[in-house]
Amino acid sequence: MSTQPARAPHRFPLQRALNAAILVIASLIGLGSFFYPFLLPQSSEQFNAMAHAQDAPLLFVVLVVLCLGAVLSSLAGGLLNAKLIAVLGILTAANAVLRGVPGPAGFTLIFLLPIVCGYAYGPTFGFLLGVFSLAVSAFLGFGVGPWLPYQMFSAGWVGLLSGLLPRLDRHPRAEALMLATWGLVLGFTFGILMNLWFWPYVFSAGQSEMYWEPGLDLVNALKRYGVFYIFTSFWWDLLRAAGNFVLLLVFAAPVLRL
C-alpha cells in the first residue's frame, strides 16, 4: 500500500508533536471513560446497563472533535495528504459495509482494514479508520447507543497500536504471521475492554461472584471479572480472534501490496 507519507522522514516537528498529543489526549480520555466508574461510589439504583446514557453523547462529540483535530494536524505535519484523506474516506465506507457481513458469534470483518492500514499508514491513520468505521456503521443500522463511543475508542486503538508494530516488509511471510497473531490478540483484547463499559453497572445478587461491587480490592475485582468474562464473553471473542487470525493470514499480504 502506498500513497505515503505516513512513515515519511520527520518534518514539521511542531505539527507532528501536536498530532501525537491529540492521540495521547484522546486515549487518556478513552481510558478514563472506561475506568472512572470503578472509582465512584454507587448505589443499587445505579446498577443498570444504560448508566452511560447521559455521558456517552458528550464523549462521542469530544472524540469526533479530537479526530478532526488529528486530521488537521496530520495534514499540517505531513503525516497525511489529500490522497490519503480520500483513501481514509473510501476505506471507512468499505469497512462500515464489511461490518454487515454475517458470521458466527463474534466473528467480524471490521478489524481487518484498521489493522492492515494502521500498520501500513501509521498510528494516526489506523486510529481514524477504526473510529470512523464504527461511527459510520452504527448510523448505517448497527446500533447507536451509549456503547457507541466506547466501541469507537476500542476500534481506534486497534488501528493505532497496529501502527506501532515493527516493520517486516522484507519478510512477507513473517509479516503476515505477525499481523495474524496480532489480530488474534486484539480479538480478545477488544472484547475484554468493551465489557468494561457496562460491567460496573450491572449486578445480580445471586451471582455476585462475577460482578463488580464498590469497595472491592483490585485482586478480587480481577477475579470476579475473570469469571464474568469466561462465562459471558470468552467463546464469543474466541471466534472473533480466530477470524482475525485467519483473515489476516490470508489477506494481509495481498492488501499490503495494493
Question: What's the grid cell of residue 249?
Answer: 493470514
Element spanning 206, H or E: none
Residue 167 CA to residue 123 CA, distance in Å, equals: 13
What's the distance, CA 218 to chain centroid? Answer: 25
Pick from 96, 87, 94: nearest CA to 5: 87
**Within the chain, which residues score under 70 in pLDDT?**
1-12, 42-51, 205-206
Whether residue 5 is preceded by a cis peptide bond, meaning omega within 30 degrees of 0, is yes
Residue 48 CA to residue 190 CA, distance in Å, equals: 22
Element spanning 199, H or E: none
Residue 87 CA to residue 135 CA, distance in Å, equals: 17
Q: Fill in the DSSP letter of residue 142.
A: I
| pLDDT score for 44 | 47
- How open is the CA angle 108-113-243, to the nearest 5 degrees? 30
Please report how many Cα atoms fall inside a 13 Å half-sphere around the Cα of residue 127, on the Cβ side: 28
Handedness of CA 75, 80, 82, 86 (dihedral sign): negative
Residue 212 CA to residue 67 CA, distance in Å, equals: 32
Burial class (CB in 10 A: 0-12, 13-18, 19+), 63: buried
